[in-house]
């Protein structure tokens, strides 16, 4: 796993995990877990001991399936949030709405304004921060960073980050500034993400959201996503 001064991947018995600071919190370890194999409780404990030695005081996991969560629960982690996992099979996809607000490519110069927008769009525990945005933009081999600019041109009103790996796409982040909601930005960004994944050869696009975020669930389902039988859990613990 990793110290706070750097990040490296630790491979364990056919699976892997890595640690980095969580959303610009240098004292909280964000534990990102691979899906190739389930870690053992001993591997989790070993990783947390390394995190503690590196100076972290708490840990939070990436969203985990029931199987992936089991060794963390055995190692003393507890539930932090429950998420719905939704999938879209990319056929059909609604045609672009000509009345939707225009979108453009996100640029490096947009990142500070996007992080500020993200802070306004989410409660503190769900904010991305600069490190979270950077992680999302690096998480997959192909990535699409889209901005919904304000009509007056003064910064973004909304943004989305979508990744693609092989035949699968991931709508990793979607945020609309509270003062710009209800103007079609969210639907435009979801539609753009789905079309981009399909153009790249994707067969399915996944997204997750908090189980109690009824507004987001309604949006995704209206755009053709369907809830999958197994949800995800975010776990946490003190170190």
> What integer pLDDT is reported at residue 36 of this predicted model?
63
> What integer pLDDT is reported at residue 30 of this predicted model?
87
pLDDT: which is higher, 173 or 131: 173
Confidence band of 10 (pLDDT split at 50, 70, 90): very low
Domain boundaries, given as residue ranges, for the chain: 10-82+233-238, 90-202
**What angle, rounded to 10 degrees, do the helices at 185-199 and 214-222 form?**
50
Mean pLDDT rounded to a whole number for the chain: 89
Residues near 233 by beta carbon (within 8 Å), at least 6 away in sequence: 63, 64, 66, 69, 79, 80, 81, 82, 83
**pTM for this one?**
0.86
Pick the CATH number of 90-202 from 3.40.630.30, 1.10.3720.10, 3.40.50.1950, 3.40.640.10: 3.40.630.30
């Amino acid at each position: 796993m990793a110290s706070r001064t750097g990040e490296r991947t630790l491979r364990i018995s056919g699976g892997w995990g890595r640690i980095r600071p969580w959303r610009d919190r240098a004292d909280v370890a964000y534990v990102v877990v691979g899906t190739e194999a389930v870690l053992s409780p001993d591997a989790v404990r070993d990783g947390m001991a390394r995190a503690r030695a590196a100076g972290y005081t708490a840990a939070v996991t990436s969203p985990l399936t029931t199987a992936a969560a089991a060794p963390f629960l055995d190692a003393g982690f507890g539930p932090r949030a429950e998420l719905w996992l939704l999938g879209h099979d990319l056929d059909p996809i609604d045609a672009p709405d000509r009345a939707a607000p225009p979108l453009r490519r996100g640029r490096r110069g947009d990142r500070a304004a996007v992080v500020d927008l993200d802070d306004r769009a989410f409660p503190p525990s769900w904010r991305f921060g600069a490190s979270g945005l950077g992680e999302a933009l690096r998480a997959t081999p192909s990535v699409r960073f889209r901005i919904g600019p304000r009509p007056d041109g003064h910064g973004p009103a909304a943004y989305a980050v979508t990744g693609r790996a092989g035949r699968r796409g991931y709508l990793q982040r979607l945020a609309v500034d509270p003062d710009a909601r209800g103007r079609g930005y969210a639907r435009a960004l979801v539609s753009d993400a789905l079309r981009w994944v399909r153009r790249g050869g994707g067969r399915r696009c996944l997204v997750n959201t908090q189980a109690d975020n009824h507004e987001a669930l309604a949006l995704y389902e209206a755009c053709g996503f369907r809830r999958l039988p197994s949800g995800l859990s975010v776990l946490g613990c003190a170190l």
